[in-house]
Amino acid sequence: MFEKYFKTSGVASGLAGDCCIVLFLCLVSSFFGNVAAFSYGYQIELNESEVGGSFPPNDHDLFNALSKPENLGKEVELIVDVFGKQKPMISKESLWRLIETKQNSVRSFRSKYTVLEEIFDGDQNLDVSKNISYEFAFLKNKLYFAYEIDNAGNSEPSVVKRSYDGERIISLLTYPDGHLHAGIGDPDPGILMDFFHPGMPLTLARLFDTRLCGTEFSGFSLMLLMQGDNLCGVFEKMEMVDGRECLVVADLSSRYYLDPQKDFSVVQVEGYLHEYSGTGALVGRWLASRSKLFDLKDHGNGIWIPSRAMIEVFDMAGNVTLRNTVDVSFVEVNKGIDDSFFTGFIPGGIPVADAMLGLSYLYGERPSINDTLKSVVKSKRVWTFQIISVTLGTIMIIVALLMKYLAYRKRKLSE
């Protein structure tokens, strides 16, 4: 299906990532010579001793041009002009169509993976470390996401399971003491972000359509990133990643490395932050995040999913502040998933708070409004009868004691 794209040289093994940070990541162009002049009067100076002659520049050269005072306010024109001069092994349009075909071919997906999350202090000492087990699945418009934390505190759930069908979120929280809390509610944007967790294999591969979660977040979908965006382009110059030659796609804040010998699958992603002067000019930038994918496995239709990954976040000095090591234990692509998988994780008979109906009931066969009202009325009747019985019993005991006391008093007085 993709043969015509794969008859070129190039290899890469690698990485996928996180961190879509908005600001300016600068991109690339093709030109020749020691100094290349573009239209609009832009100048990019190349260090010939470093580049060994003429070549299509990378985003570092473009950044140098964008940081020149004379180019302030002309960044967009420069980037568009530079990308227009690129002649990569595969055009941006053809690459986008290929990635779109791959992403749309994923009709169902299920995976299990663990993440070792490590947080470092300013001195590069390990501050926090915890293991989290995850499970993710989707079928058409249905999504499922669960995680279990090894060392959860007593105030936070140790196991969280959620599903989403485009209209409602079903949740089951299990606390370390065994207490369960089940609920049904409207889609919450913060909770929906759980469904495209950065360590999830499909987001690592940049093949997850976040529109399933009601948001068009291009950071985890290369197809969404590339469609119709003139500030995202494909470099002509190939770059090495772990000893393999990769095609580079970049937008304003990230670089995506694609392996041509793995159906142009993402193997590495870098995110950048930029520093501006008081006048708004670019004066510096640094690598803010890097994600690497390892041991990619072919699941058909050009879909390569990593078996391992490492996601790192850096400070301005280049120190690691966060590291997530991902190990994927199970992946199924287009194997189908039973619909009950997305609702059957809540045990029958436990109370569930349904915020959409404004009612609470025992989970199982979802009750009709009438059945629910009857159940609520019945429980209130039982509760009312119990209160009346206790009250009457208490009154009778008090009366009996009072009568006994009065009889005692009368006997005493007669003596």
CATH number at residue 135: 2.50.20.10
My answer on whether 55 and 111 are in the same domain is no
Start-end of H helices in 208-283: 222-226
The secondary structure of residue 32, as a DSSP letter, is -
Query: pLDDT at position 2, please?
Result: 35
With 0.85 as the threshold, say if the pTM is over it: no
Structural domain includes residue 371 = no
Residue 267, C-beta contacts closer than 8 angstroms, at least 6 positions apart: 12, 13, 14, 15, 16, 241, 242, 244, 246, 257, 258, 259, 292, 293, 296
Task: Tally the domains of the chain.
Answer: 3
Last residue of a domain, one of 64, 85, 106: 85
My answer on whether 357 and 398 are in the same domain is no
Structural domain includes residue 384 = yes
My answer on whether 280 and 396 are in the same domain is no
Distance CA 309, CA 311 (A): 7
pLDDT averaged over every residue in the chain: 77
Structural domain includes residue 136 = yes
Q: What is the pLDDT of residues 326-377, one digit of tens each?
A: 999 999 999 999 988 998 899 888 899 999 888 888 887 555 555 555 554 5
Residue 359, C-beta contacts closer than 8 angstroms, at least 6 positions apart: 372, 376
Last residue of a domain, one of 41, 61, 85: 85
Distance CA 379, CA 369 (A): 15
- Report, as an integer, the average pLDDT of 7-33: 30
Structural domain includes residue 333 = yes
Residue 265, C-beta contacts closer than 8 angstroms, at least 6 positions apart: 205, 258, 259, 296, 302, 303, 304
CB 314 within 8 A of CB 21: no
My answer on whether 49 and 19 are in the same domain is no
Distance CA 372, CA 392 (A): 30
Of the pLDDT bands very low, low, confident and very high (cuts 50, 70, 90), residue 51 is very low
My answer on whether 184 and 314 are in the same domain is yes
My answer on whether 125 and 242 are in the same domain is yes
User: Domain containing 398: what range?
Assistant: 380-415
Q: What is the pLDDT of residues 121-140, one digit of tens each?
A: 877 788 788 899 999 999 98
Containing 231, the helix (H) or strand (E) segment is none
Structural domain includes residue 391 = yes
C-alpha radius of gyration, the chain, whole number: 31
Tell the residue number behind the tokens 């809390």, with chain if given: 181
Structural domain includes residue 372 = no
Residue 381, C-beta contacts closer than 8 angstroms, at least 6 positions apart: none
My answer on whether 6 and 119 are in the same domain is yes
- At 188, give phi and psi (nearest 5°): -110, 125
Nearest of 340, 345, 14 to residue 174 by alpha carbon: 345
My answer on whether 290 and 406 are in the same domain is no
My answer on whether 80 and 154 are in the same domain is no
Structural domain includes residue 237 = yes
Q: What are the distances in angstroms from CA 274 to CA 252, 257, 288, 319, 334? A: 10, 20, 9, 17, 40
Query: pLDDT at position 154, please?
Result: 65
Structural domain includes residue 96 = yes
My answer on whether 156 and 284 are in the same domain is yes
What are the structure tokens assigned to 184, written together? 């049904």
Last residue of a domain, one of 38, 53, 85: 85
Distance CA 109, CA 337 (A): 8
Start-end of H helices in 193-311: 201-204, 222-226
My answer on whether 168 and 233 are in the same domain is yes
My answer on whether 37 and 16 are in the same domain is no
**Does residue 54 have a pLDDT over 50?**
no
